[in-house]
Amino acid sequence: MNNKKVAFYTLGCKLNFSETSTIARSFREEGFERVEFTEEADIYVINTCSVTDNADKRFKTIVKQAQKVNEDAFVIAVGCYAQLKPEELADVNGVDLVLGATEKFKITNYLNDLTKNDLGEVHSCEIDEADFYVGAYSIGDRTRAFLKVQDGCDYKCTYCTIPLARGISRSDKLENVLNNAAEISAKGIKEIVLTGVNIGDYGKGEFGNKKHEHTFLDLVKALDEVDGIERLRISSIEPNLLKNETIDFVAESNTFVPHFHIPLQSGSDDLLKLMKRRYMSGLYSDRVGQIKEVMPNACIGVDVIVGFPGETEERFLETYNYLNELDISYLHVFTYSERDNTPAADMEGVVPTKVRKKRSKMLRGLSAKKRRAFYESQLGNTYTVLFEGENKEGYIHGFTENYVKVKAPWDPGLVNTLHQIELTSIDEDGLVRFEFASEKVAV
Ligand code: SF4
């Protein structure tokens, strides 16, 4: 122990959460004690995201929050936003150090001098230097672990800054992924969620070249064989990379759960072309059809962007109607906002902010309707639920294999346990009530 304390704040996606955990472990190895972000610490690390709306405002608020607890603390920014706009972050009052994509995992090398400076120091890199892979997984933060299997992206979607923030597509070695998965399970974590920027591209860059040594299906099959893992969840996967063979394998697997999250972004083929996505809506419908054919109770989540340049009323309605007809379970709606250095930022047909907001509201309404219909279709079925660790206003929550969110009165004995339950009814808050199918016996 070096008697110093460190606290972390993570913005953005599951990948950032897994990387914060890895960074936190490197601090622990140097003898730091990890405390909550609301507690007094000597160092505050903020893992930033560039997708977050109002990312700069959000960042400033978090820095202020840290300074309120300890104004003398050393504040470090890492993550996607730190790579994209290092100088901007360094200029924020109170920030001492900004580390780019290659430097964030070497963070403890920068801790010899923790004196606060008037100006934040930047250690960044050109993004094409971020061509090596650093493994990560989260543990201890949640009952689920996020296991990073891949990083970066070689696609060129016209709205996206992620390739600029995270670099080329590269993967962890299959052997490392399997070892990490076994390690996570040995620690008593019941569910592992596979994460990455473009996980369907798994295998690319595994041995430092652009070739696919393994495929995503190879990864899925190998993980399915690892002893001791209770549940595996594929997080978000591009529709063109989700092959029917993978869908069929998941249907037969005992550990991979029937839940898919597949970015669509638009139901208009014209917009998909403008976005430079690598599929048309027809392929998307086929994937959904295949999933539902082999797993009728599967949960399917969809990412969709509203207000992309060129999204006329007609094209928006095309998206709305397409999603309305499709057999999916919920939507994640993103309101388009211009990002520097992306082709979409210079495109014609800019959609007024007010219209973007209205469309986003319409799709969020559609999402609620879809989720409700999905939950209703599941009532009477028996599933296994994994209970989570938080007491939220007297309730404990959990998720079934197919991502139905259930609630029960708070009972600490249920935390991080799996139980067979029967879904009985839907509460006013939209969550599902249940009965224990087998005398509260953990499975
Ligand atoms: S697939 Fe497209 S949206 Fe996703 S990370 Fe790659 S470039 Fe960005």
Least confident of 162-176, 216-230, 429-443: 429-443
**pLDDT for the residue 439:** 59
- Same domain assignment for residues 363 and 398: no
Residue ID of nearest Cα to ligand 1 atom 8: 160
Average pLDDT for residues 27-32, to the nearest whole number?
Answer: 93
The reply to whether ligand 1 has any atom less than 6 angstroms from the CB of 400 is no
Query: Of the residues 334, 353, 377, which one is the last residue of a structural domain?
Result: 377
130: in domain: no
The reply to whether ligand 1 has any atom less than 6 angstroms from the CB of 247 is no
**pLDDT for the residue 50:** 80
Domain CATH code at residue 193:
3.80.30.20
Domain CATH code at residue 417:
2.40.50
Query: Of the residues 326, 346, 377, which one is the last residue of a structural domain?
Result: 377
What distance in angstroms lies between residue 311's CA and the mean position of ligand 1's atoms?
A: 19
Give the chain's domain count.
Answer: 3
Arithmetic mean of pLDDT over the chain: 92
Percentage of the chain lying above the pLDDT 70 cut: 97
135: in domain: no
- Same domain assignment for residues 112 and 257: no
Domain CATH code at residue 119:
3.40.50.12160
Banded model confidence at residue 114, pLDDT cuts 50, 70, 90: confident
- Same domain assignment for residues 84 and 190: no
Least confident of 66-70, 123-127, 324-328: 123-127
140: left (phi over 0), alpha (psi -120 to 50) or beta: left
84: in domain: yes
**Residue 406 clears pLDDT 90, i.e. is over it:** yes
Banded model confidence at residue 112, pLDDT cuts 50, 70, 90: confident
Domain that holds residue 191: 144-377
Least confident of 42-46, 101-105, 151-155: 101-105
Banded model confidence at residue 168, pLDDT cuts 50, 70, 90: very high
What distance in angstroms lies between residue 96's CA and the mean position of ligand 1's atoms?
A: 31
Banded model confidence at residue 101, pLDDT cuts 50, 70, 90: confident
Is the pLDDT higher at 122 or at 342?
Answer: 342
What distance in angstroms lies between residue 294's CA and the mean position of ligand 1's atoms?
A: 28
- Same domain assignment for residues 155 and 279: yes
75: in domain: yes
Query: Of the residues 361, 377, 393, which one is the last residue of a structural domain?
Result: 377
What distance in angstroms lies between residue 278's CA and the mean position of ligand 1's atoms?
A: 10
Q: What is the pLDDT of residues 291-300, one digit of tens each?
A: 999 999 999 9
133: in domain: no
Banded model confidence at residue 121, pLDDT cuts 50, 70, 90: confident
**Residue 180 clears pLDDT 90, i.e. is over it:** yes
Banded model confidence at residue 335, pLDDT cuts 50, 70, 90: very high
41: in domain: yes
What distance in angstroms lies between residue 163's CA and the mean position of ligand 1's atoms?
A: 7
Is the pLDDT higher at 54 or at 398?
Answer: 398
Average pLDDT for residues 303-326, to the nearest whole number?
Answer: 98
Specify the ligand 1 atom closest to the Cα of 161.
8
**Residue 89 clears pLDDT 80, i.e. is over it:** yes
134: in domain: no
**pLDDT for the residue 275:** 98
Specify the ligand 1 atom closest to the Cα of 156.
7
What distance in angstroms lies between residue 288's CA and the mean position of ligand 1's atoms?
A: 20
- Same domain assignment for residues 25 and 64: yes
Residue to mutate, 49, 198, 266, ligand 1, most ligand atoms under 8 Å from C-beta: 198
| Cβ pair 237, 200 in contact under 8 A | yes
Residue to mutate, 162, 241, 261, 272, ligand 1, most ligand atoms under 8 Å from C-beta: 162
Banded model confidence at residue 138, pLDDT cuts 50, 70, 90: confident
**Residue 198 clears pLDDT 80, i.e. is over it:** yes
- Same domain assignment for residues 277 and 408: no
- Same domain assignment for residues 421 and 366: no
- Same domain assignment for residues 368 and 228: yes
**pLDDT for the residue 441:** 54
Is the pLDDT higher at 359 or at 441?
Answer: 359
Residue ID of nearest Cα to ligand 1 atom 2: 157
**Residue 3 clears pLDDT 90, i.e. is over it:** no
**Residue 94 clears pLDDT 90, i.e. is over it:** yes
Of 135, 137, 145, give the one whose Cα is nearest residue 176: 135
- Same domain assignment for residues 333 and 188: yes
The reply to whether ligand 1 has any atom less than 6 angstroms from the CB of 150 is no
The reply to whether ligand 1 has any atom less than 6 angstroms from the CB of 198 is yes
Residue to mutate, 154, 160, 308, 332, ligand 1, most ligand atoms under 8 Å from C-beta: 160
- Same domain assignment for residues 178 and 114: no
- Same domain assignment for residues 348 and 290: yes
**pLDDT for the residue 246:** 98
**pLDDT for the residue 401:** 97
- Same domain assignment for residues 153 and 116: no
**pLDDT for the residue 10:** 93
What distance in angstroms lies between residue 391's CA and the mean position of ligand 1's atoms?
A: 35
27: in domain: yes
